[in-house]
Amino acid sequence: MHGNEEKQTGFEIGVVVSKKEGNESFECVEFLVLEFNNVGLVIERVVGLSEEFIKVAAPLETLGRAAAELQIKKPTYIGMDLQFEWDEVEAFVRQPDGSLFSWCERFCCFTHLLYGIINKTESVVTLMYNNKVINWRPGESLVKKLESEGIVKKVFPLHDETKRKQLMRTWALNWLDMTNQPIDEIYTYFGTKVIATYFAFLGMYTRWMLFPAALALTLQLIDFGSRQLLMLPIFFIFVTLWAVIFFQFWKRKSAALLARWQIGYTVGVDTGFKYSDTERSSLQSHMEHIRKMGTDKIKEKAAFQRDEWSGHLLRFRNDALVILSIICLQLPFELAYAHLYELVSSDIVKFGLTALYIFTIQYLTKIGGKVSVKLIKNEKNKSSEHRADSLVYKVFGLYFMQSYIGVFYHALLHRNFTTLRLVLTQRLIVSQVLENLLENSIPYLKYRLKKYRAVHKKKLENGLSMGKVQVTTRVEKEYMKPSYSQVLVMNLKMVYLMHNITEIRTDALKLLAMLKRPIPRASATIGAWLNIFQFLIVMSICTNSVLLVCLYDQEGKWKIEPGLAAILIIEHVLLLIKFGVSKFVPEEPAWVKANRVKNAAQAQDMCSKQLLRSISGEKKRE
């Protein structure tokens, strides 16, 4: 075993149960703690103001055997992802910090151990809770049963205080490093999909933003006289090339991070958790239907084709519903705002109108997201990641319309570039101020309100009107915190740069100090957002070309004069460069590709040798 191997995890899971008051009978809670101990978990009980908290840790062997039961696949030293076996633990590659399991894998194991406590007897087990009889039926999960009875109120991840404080010091409060972040430590602590990949992208994006921000500031400060109009096409070309090159190099960085974190594009940790209950039951019924048909290849092929096309039609129907809702409901609202903005003459009223508009679309986006979630439940997605991508595409469609329909209205219909610049400036400032205010204040206010209610309730129970009652335990404070819920013109580039620098630190502070520890979710890339970024690059080339045409063709004659012809040529050249760069710059570094090829060769060689031994052994027995 490795010298730096951990013997036991810290207390990483909290289970909230009802608190015993007076002479109440809480046999079921005592029984739950006993069952936790029986499966090998380490328990520490903490009494809070109104609830009791069970902090859960586990020895490494307990987690290892749970991982084997879940058939979790992990990378090995021969380059293959193999099903984990505790007895062969030395064959599996360790995490960057030397631990055997990632946080995502540990969370899956904890979930399996907690919810895997079932009644294996053939009779009903009777438990008591406050003089109420609880019948634990055969094959039923104990934790789920107690959750349905309101005895277990919540199961949630706990922050590791040592690691949390270290990240606060080296990351959230370390303003001197600007965009440098301990990405490996963030990955180890939070997991990949929503946290580590997001901050890796935001850090790289902010560093690269220095180049267009510097050019934008130069063009704003220097008067080029009669050549000022030439600066717009130059800036447009520069920003487009910057976006194309940045996107390609981000894909290289993403591939390097995944290789460093030993994560493939098919993540083994999702084994057993890849499908939701609805998806799994649908898949099982579909496979059962195919098995009943026997060996009839024609019927089997027809069944797969029918299932494939029904899934496509369901997604098409849902996408059509989202598009129709945008056209019928959101488009009139967006056009009304843009029209009112043109009619109003007071800048103060325009600013207030923009604030009201942004506040309204925040809730429209939430409503659209809820509708999209309900729609995708009826889709036949292959996995939870495909389902998440489908949701991202739908919500992005709503957000894209909210962000750009007013811009198109001002630019193409009114051709008022002064108003267009004012609209973009106001919307950027108001949206960033409003979003940061809501994102940072609401979690804190929710925490303070929940804390106040708990303290006030305790005072009423004790008959105290003035006494001092405090929340003193760390686990109760974490329980009260909200859960983690899982963005164009020259003179705005510097604003975006400063916003991104502060966004990194404020988001880090929220994750470490204001919210519960997020539930980890494994993912190989940022999924649908890569395709969306590709779409935005192409759209930026087209829309900026149209804006340049409108700027040079003030009279609206739309004649192919030398200037307009040059813009058309620039657009086509940039589109060619965009697709050319994607072919010229490899999507993964050479060392990543070399390691992947080496691992594949080693795995193939070992499989070939084992297969030859098997064939040779069978021949000798004959």
To the nearest 5 percent, what fractions of the chain are helix, strand and coil? 70, 10, 25
| Tens digits of residue pLDDT in 169-199 | 999 888 877 778 899 899 889 876 668 888 8
- List b or e across 532-565, with b for residues whose CB sees 16 or more CB atoms inside 10 angstroms: bbeebbeebbebbbebbbebebeeeeeeeeeebe
Rounded CA-CA distance 505/515 in Å is 14
Backbone angles phi, psi at 118, to 5 degrees: -120, 160
Rounded CA-CA distance 201/196 in Å is 9
| Tens digits of residue pLDDT in 522-565 | 554 466 778 888 888 888 888 778 777 776 665 555 555 666 67
More confident site: 210 or 271: 210
- For the stretch 121-128, contacts whose Cβ atoms lie closer than 8 Å and that sit 24 or more positions apart, written own/partner, are 127/27, 127/28, 127/31, 128/25, 128/26, 128/27, 128/28
Backbone angles phi, psi at 568, to 5 degrees: -60, -40
| Tens digits of residue pLDDT in 569-596 | 888 888 888 888 888 888 888 888 888 7
| Tens digits of residue pLDDT in 124-148 | 988 888 778 889 999 999 999 999 9
Residue 482: DSSP 8-state: P
Which alpha helices (DSSP H) does 194-296 contain, by range?
A: 197-221, 228-260, 277-292
Q: Is the Cβ–Cβ distance between 387 and 396 less than 8 Å?
A: no
Please state which of the ranges 139-153, 406-420, 488-502 shows the lowest mean pLDDT.
Answer: 488-502
What is each CA distance from 329 to 333, 368, 401, 619, in whole angstroms?
Answer: 7, 11, 11, 73
Is residue 465 scored above 70 in pLDDT? Answer: no
Confidence (pLDDT) at 107 = 92
**Residue range 452-475: mean pLDDT, rounded:** 78
Query: What's this model's pTM, rounded to 2 decimal places?
Result: 0.77
Nearest residue to 39 via CA among 20, 14, 15, 61: 61
